[in-house]
Amino acid sequence: MPWRLILALFVGTASVLFGLSILLLMDSPTSSLVRTSQFGLIALCGASALLAYPLWAGRYWALLALRFLVLLTVVPVVVLSIADFGHAQGGLSTNLGDLAFYGSLFTIPMFVLAVLFHPNVIQEFRHQNVSGS
């Protein structure tokens, strides 16, 4: 199975399922800041779902855009983890539960980035653009 098909199926289904789960699980009595961040995540899921067809077609720009979107999802996790550790009473003190939680949040995006930067994936997308299909 070619990498472009695997990426298209993964990105399409994961983004639609994640976006729908955020939309269905939203609380109505939340603050406007939380609501805005939830709609931002839904928009990010929609943008990544729109990349499924260009990824399937083997467009190199879609691979670059997907890399950018995955990095864009990692940045809030880093900011939130630093903010959470900074709220500790003695400064930056951590416990094992916080480290495990944020480590689990980093696992999936880092794995996806490792796949997106793999030489075989890059070669397949560049080969698709050279052949003109």
- Tens of pLDDT, residue by residue, the chain (133 residues): 788 889 899 888 888 888 888 778 776 666 676 677 777 778 888 888 888 899 899 899 999 998 998 888 777 767 766 666 655 555 555 566 767 777 777 888 888 889 999 999 999 888 765 555 4
Backbone angles phi, psi at 34, to 5 degrees: -65, -40
* Strand, coil or helix: 125: helix
Alpha helices in 1-133 (DSSP H): 3-24, 32-50, 52-57, 60-86, 96-116, 119-131
The predicted model scores a pTM of: 0.70
